[in-house]
Structure 1
Amino acid sequence: MSSTKLYLYTRFERFWHWAQAALIIALLVTGFEIHGSFVLLGFGSAVTVHNFCAWTWLVLYAFIVFWILTTGEWRHYVPTFVKMFEVMQYYASGIFKGEPHPVPKSERIKHNPLQRITYLGIVSVLVPFQIVTGFMYYLYNDWAAFGWAFTLSTIAILHTIGAFAMLVFSIVHIYMTTTGHHPFSHIKAMFTGYEELEPEK
Structure 2
Amino acid sequence: MARVYIYRKFERFWHWTQAILIFYLALTGFEIHGSYSFLGYEQAVKSHRVAAWMLLILIAFSIFWHFTTGEWRQYIPTFSKLKAQIRYYTVGIFKGENHPTRKSPKSKLNPLQALTYLGFKLVMAPMLIITGLIYMFYRTIDANNMVIISDIPLETIASIHTLGAYLIIMFAIVHVYMTTTGETPTSNIRAMITGYEDLETDDDSSKATDTK
Using structure 2 for the length normalisation, give the TM-score: 0.89
Deviates more, 1:161-170 or 1:140-149: 140-149
Q: Give 2:208's aligned residue.
A: none
Q: Give 2:177's aligned residue.
A: 175
What runs of 5+ residues in structure 1 fail to find an aligned partner?
A: none
1:179-194 to structure 2, matched below 5 A, reads 179-194=181-196
Could you tell me how far apart the structure 2 residues matched to 1:189 and 1:156 are? 37
Using structure 1 for the length normalisation, give the TM-score: 0.94
Could you tell me how far apart the structure 2 residues matched to 1:147 and 1:6 are? 51
Q: CA deviation at 1:140?
A: 2.3
Q: Give 1:19's aligned residue.
A: 17
1:129-168 to structure 2, matched below 5 A, reads 129-142=127-140, 144-168=146-170
Q: CA deviation at 1:145?
A: 4.7
Structure having the larger proportion of residues in helix:
1
Could you tell me how far apart the structure 2 residues matched to 1:14 and 1:108 are? 16
Q: Give 2:6's aligned residue.
A: 8
Identify which of 69, 86, 89 aligns with 1:88.
Answer: 86
Aligned partner of residue 168 in structure 1, secondary structure:
helix
CA offset digits 1:75-126 (Å, max 9, x no partner): 2111210100000000001111111110120122110001111111111221
Could you tell me how far apart the structure 2 residues matched to 1:80 and 1:191 are? 27
Could you tell me how far apart the structure 2 residues matched to 1:19 and 1:148 are? 35
1:20-169 to structure 2, matched below 5 A, reads 20-142=18-140, 144-169=146-171
Could you tell me how far apart the structure 2 residues matched to 1:154 and 1:164 are? 15
Q: Give 2:199's aligned residue.
A: 197
Could you tell me how far apart the structure 1 residues matched to 2:151 and 2:48 are? 25
Deviates more, 1:121-130 or 1:171-180: 121-130
Q: Percent identity?
A: 52
For 2:61, the aligned partner's letter is F
For 2:166, the aligned partner's letter is F
Aligned partner of residue 178 in structure 1, secondary structure:
helix
Could you tell me how far apart the structure 1 residues matched to 2:105 and 2:14 are? 20
1:181/1:198 contact within 8 Å kept: no
